[in-house]
Structures are given as C-alpha cells and as structure tokens.
Structure 1
Amino acid sequence: MKDHDDAHHHYGGESDHQHGEHPRGGGRGSGRFRVQRGDVRIATLLLLAEKPMHGYQLMQAMEERTSGAWRPSPGGIYPLIAQLEDDGLVTTTAAGGRKLVTLTPAGHAHIQELRPTWADPFANADASHGGPDLRGAVHDLHGAGRQIGMIGTLAQQEAAIVVIREARRALYLILAEGQQ
C-alpha cells in the first residue's frame, strides 16, 4: 500500500489536513462551501465505514450531509473508488447491476489510524448556506434554456443564446468589479 500523502497526490488531492481550498467547491452549492483537497477521499472512507454503498449513494450521502452544498461528480467518485480498491482499502462487488463498495479490514485499519488527523469534510457545510441561493437561480436558468432548446422555434433559440451569453458576460463583470 502507498504511504498516506503519496496516495493523496495520486488522486489529485493533497494530504487530508490540507490548508488550501479546492478551486471549485465540488460541483454544486452556493459557492460559499469550499471542499478541501482530499475531502472526497476522506468523506468516501467515512461513509463506507458506516455501511457499504454504491457510487451514486456516496454522492447522494455527501450532498445530504452538506444540505446540498456539495455533491462530487461521477468523474470524482468512480476513479477514487478504483484507486481505493487498488490500494486495498475497499472491495467492489456486483449487486443488481451496480457495484457495491465495501471497506476491507485494511480500510477499517486505515481509518482508525488516520482519523485523528483528518478534518471533518462535512464541518463547514452548515455555515455555507447563509447567502443567496445562487445554485437555485442557475438551476432555474438551465431549466428555461433546456425548454427553449426542446420546444422553442429557431428564432427563440437564437434569442436565448444571446441572453445567456449576455448573462455570462454580466456575471464576469460582477466578479471583475469585486477585484478592483
């Protein structure tokens, strides 16, 4: 098995007690909750210590534990599961067309050994929802765009593209104003 820090660099994360912030915050959320590098790994291991889960269940559990502020993408979870399996910390078994992920005895020992050094990956989630619901607004915009794309006329679709591009530009201008 790889040593602790080396394994984290392999997944694109750093040590579990990293001080820097992940640049994107993990996919969904208000933008105030920031996921520390290595937190997807820690969260995955901690959730699997509670019970075996499928990859989708892991993503859902992380979203639930953060009140919707954080949900890792499949592109973050499934390669991580494969790496944890390569490291001997989990096993996967086919169950109902899905792969059930279970901690191995080595995985349990790994958690027991390193848990005292890990920050709680879900700790900052409660404080993250103090501001406006940007996620909801973006979701609503996406839904309207999809509707126009599915049933709108060509002229409506072209007008929608102009509106969306202008909204994008306006959002970047808001950020630029804050940096002056």
Structure 2
Amino acid sequence: MKMNLERLRRGALKFLIMDALHHKPMHAYEIMKTIEGKFNGVYKPSPGSLYPVLKNLINEGLVKVEEHDGKKVYSLTDEGLKKWAEAKANVKSVFSTPVDYRKLVSMLFDISLVLYSYREKMVNEKVYDEVSSVLMECRAKIERILESQSSESK
C-alpha cells in the first residue's frame, strides 16, 4: 500500500531527504528507498516529487550534487548538516511535550491509511462528500479546541 507524496507536505519531504542524506551521500533512487524504508513501504516519494525538492535544497545551499561514474550523488553541505540538526532538535522537542503528541500524529496517520485502503470505494461522489465533510468538521473542532486553549492561557 503506497501513499502519494501529495499527502506529505513539501517541508516534510525536505526533512526526510535531509535525514536520509545525513547518514551518507546517495543517489536519488537510494534516497527514495531510504524514505520508503522509514515508512515500512507504505510511502515512497516519486521521482516527480523528489527532484524538485532536491533542486530547492541545492539552490538553498543545503545539498550538493556530484557526479560519480556518470551518476548524480547528493550529499549535505555543512550548512545542510547544520539545518538538519536544528530541524531534528525541533522534531524531538515537539515529541517530548508533556502530552503524548506522537499518539495524536499516529492517529492521523492511521486515518490516512484507512482512507487509502478504501480509496476504491470512494468512486461514489456521495461517499467522498460524506468523508470530506467529516474531516472538515473534525479539523474545525480541533481548531476551536486549540484556539480556546490558547486564548485561555493568555
């Protein structure tokens, strides 16, 4: 079961690429396989989604590309390594909050897997509209809870 990249934000893919390259320089295919491995095969970025993000990382000076044996090999620059370490620290701080934030993220991921596994059943526009409505209501309710919490703490 594979998920499309559109389900992940570009920033998440940027971090996943940098995380893969943190371990060693890689070809684009190796980067895709490393990311796929992190998701146990559920998600694998397509070349069409990977290359634009790699290009942006190169333009930002975070990744460099060299040719070895006629193949492009990508690696983190010193600045890329610094940005990766900062991002990794931010991820750890988000997941070390007093509440089990990971559990919430896991629940969201479970919902995406349910949607993906029933994708053939959503050919009916009525079913799609019902599911979409539930998700929009859920998002609105979560935002109301969080907004009321942030206004209470002021």
The two structures share one fold, judged by TM-score above 0.5:
yes
Aligned equivalents of 1:37, 1:78: Cα separation in 2: 12
The Cα shift of 1:77 comes to 0.9
What is the TM-score when the length of structure 2 is the normalising length? 0.60
Q: Does 1:173 align with 2:126?
A: yes
Which of structures 1 and 2 has the bigger CA Rg? 1
Deviations 1:75-134 (A, max 9, x none): 2211111111111111111123321101111111122233211368xx749x63974873
* Consecutive unaligned residues in structure 1, runs of 5 or more: 1-23, 28-33, 139-166
* Structure holding more helix per residue: 2
2:65 maps to amino acid: T
Q: Does 1:88 align with 2:61?
A: yes
Give yes or no for contact 2:122–2:128 (8 Å, CA) kept in 1.
no
Aligned CA-pair RMSD: 3.5
Q: Deviations over 1:11-68 (max 9, x none)?
A: xxxxxxxxxxxxx8526xxxxxx53451000111111001111112111211121122
Provide the aligned length of Structure 1 versus Structure 2.
119
Structure 2 gaps, min length 5: 96-104, 135-154
CA distance in 1, matches of 2:53, 2:113: 31
Structural mapping, 1:4-19, within 5 Å = none
TM (norm. structure 1) is 0.52
* Cα deviations by residue, 1:114-160 (Å, 9 ceiling, x for unpaired): 3211368xx749x639748738x86xxxxxxxxxxxxxxxxxxxxxx
Tell me, yes or no, if the aligned pair for 2:4 and 2:44 is still in contact at 8 Å. no
